[in-house]
C-alpha cells in the first residue's frame, strides 16, 4: 500500500516510497491522472468564484458563461422608456369626469398632432380651387378640384399623351359656384357617364380605367329642381334632370340646342311645365330631330307637362301633353 516515507527510518528507500505514493494520482510527467480526486470548489455566488452549472438560459463554458436566450429579448431600458411614453399618451388621452365619477375617453389633440406629423401621407391636402374652365393636371391626382364660378364651366380630362395619369387615378370634382360644371374628355378620351353636375355643391368622382378611358360617377340629386323662365328659352347643360317652368301670359318657346352647342349626355331627361296661360312650344334646334306622336310640339295648356329625353346624337324623344 502506497505511503509517505517515515522520518528517521526508511533509509535508502525514501525516493522509491515517495514516487510510489505520488504515482497514485500523478502521471510520469507530473500531471494529474483523470482518475485522481479533484479538489472540491465552492458554489459560486456574487462575491466568490466557484462552480456554475450551465443549464437553463446559460451556455458557453465555466470560464466564460453566456446567456444565449437574451439575444431576442428587449432591452429593459427601452421597455421602461416605451412604457413611460405610452403612459404619458394614455394620460393625455383620458380625462376624469368628476361630476359623474366616470372615466371619459377623449381624443387627445397633442397625441393626434404627433401622429399626424409622423404620418404625413395621411394629411389632407388643400383643394385645387378654379374659377373658370379647367384642364386637369398631374398634380390633381387623388385630390379634390373645386370649381367656384357663377357661369357654366367645363373640366376637361386631357389625353394621355398630354398628361399621363397612372391607371387607377381618382379625382373628385366639386361644383362650389352656381355655374354648372360639366366633366368631359379631350379629343381621343372616352369618358363613360360624362355630364354636368348641374347644381351647386354637387360632386363627381372620376377614375382612370385605362389609357384614355375614364369612368365618371356623378352624385345623383333625387330632387326635381325647377328653372323658371318668362321668355323664350334655350336649354343649357344645367337643365339636365330638372323641370323648366314657363310662366308667361304670352306665347313662348323652349329650344333644344344641337350637340355642337350643348352636348347633353345620351339618356338625359328633363321636363317642361306650362305654368302661365301663354302657349309653350318645343322647338328642335338646327340639326336636331324631336321624335313625337302628336300633331304638334305645342303644350296643350296651362299646368300641363311634357318630357324630353335624349335618345341619340342630336335626337330627342318628346312625350306628354301636346296638342
Domain segments of the chain as ranges: 86-121, 128-218, 226-320
> What pLDDT, on the 0 to 100 scale, is given for residue 102?
46
Residue pair 196/237 in contact by the 8 Å Cβ criterion: yes
Under 8 Å between Cβ of 155 and 127: no
Residue 72: the pLDDT is 62
Domain pair 128-218 / 226-320, same fold: yes
Separation between Cα atoms, residue 23 and residue 36, nearest integer Å = 10
Residues above pLDDT 70, as percent of the chain = 77
User: What's the pLDDT at 103?
Assistant: 47
Which pLDDT score, from 0 to 100, does residue 94 have?
Answer: 46
What residues have CB less than 8 Å from 4, skipping those under 6 apart? Answer: 17, 18, 21
Grid cell of 182 as nine digits: 360639366
Q: What separation in angstroms does the CA of 13 have from each of 10, 24, 30, 137, 220?
A: 5, 17, 21, 113, 123
CATH (residue range 128-218): 2.60.120
| CATH assignment of 226-320, among 1.10.10.10, 3.30.465.10, 2.60.120.640, 2.60.40.60 | 2.60.120.640
Gap between the Cα atoms of 144 and 297, Å rounded: 43
pLDDT (tens digit per residue) in 203-224: 999 999 999 999 999 876 667 7
What confidence category does residue 40 fall into, taking pLDDT thresholds of 50, 70 and 90? low
Euclidean distance between CA atoms 148 and 131, whole angstroms:
5
Amino acid at each position: 500500500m502506497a505511503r509517505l516515507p517515515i522520518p528517521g527510518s526508511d533509509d535508502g528507500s525514501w525516493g522509491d516510497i515517495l514516487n510510489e505514493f505520488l504515482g497514485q494520482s500523478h502521471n510520469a510527467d507530473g500531471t494529474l491522472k483523470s482518475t485522481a480526486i479533484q479538489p472540491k470548489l465552492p458554489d459560486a455566488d456574487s462575491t466568490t468564484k466557484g462552480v456554475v452549472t450551465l443549464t437553463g438560459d446559460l451556455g458557453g463554458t465555466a470560464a466564460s458563461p453566456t446567456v444565449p436566450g437574451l439575444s431576442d429579448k428587449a432591452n429593459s431600458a427601452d421597455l421602461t422608456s416605451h412604457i413611460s411614453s405610452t403612459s404619458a399618451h394614455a394620460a393625455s388621452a383620458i380625462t376624469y369626469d368628476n361630476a359623474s365619477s366616470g372615466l371619459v375617453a377623449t381624443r387627445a389633440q397633442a397625441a393626434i398632432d404627433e401622429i399626424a406629423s409622423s404620418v404625413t401621407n395621411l394629411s389632407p391636402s388643400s383643394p385645387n380651387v378654379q374659377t373658370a374652365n379647367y384642364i386637369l393636371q398631374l398634380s390633381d391626382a387623388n385630390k379634390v378640384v373645386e370649381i367656384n364660378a357663377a357661369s357654366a364651366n367645363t373640366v376637361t380630362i386631357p389625353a394621355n399623351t398630354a398628361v399621363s395619369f397612372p391607371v387607377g387615378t381618382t379625382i373628385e370634382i366639386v361644383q362650389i359656384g352656381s355655374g354648372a360644371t360639366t366633366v368631359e374628355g379631350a379629343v381621343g378620351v372616352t369618358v363613360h357617364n360624362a355630364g354636368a353636375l348641374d347644381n351647386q355643391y354637387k360632386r363627381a368622382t372620376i377614375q382612370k380605367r385605362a389609357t384614355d378611358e375614364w369612368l365618371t360617377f356623378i352624385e345623383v340629386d333625387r330632387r326635381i329642381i325647377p328653372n323658371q323662365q318668362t321668355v323664350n328659352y334655350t336649354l343649357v347643360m344645367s337643365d339636365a334632370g330638372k323641370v323648366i317652368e314657363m310662366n308667361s301670359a304670352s306665347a313662348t318657346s323652349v329650344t333644344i340646342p344641337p350637340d355642337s352647342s350643348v352636348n347633353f349626355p345620351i339618356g338625359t331627361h328633363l321636363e317642361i311645365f306650362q305654368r302661365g296661360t301663354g302657349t309653350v312650344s318645343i322647338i328642335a334646334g338646327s340639326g336636331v330631330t324631336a321624335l313625337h306622336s302628336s300633331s304638334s310640339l305645342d303644350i296643350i295648356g296651362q299646368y300641363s307637362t311634357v318630357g324630353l329625353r335624349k335618345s341619340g346624337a342630336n335626337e330627342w324623344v318628346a312625350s306628354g301633353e301636346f296638342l
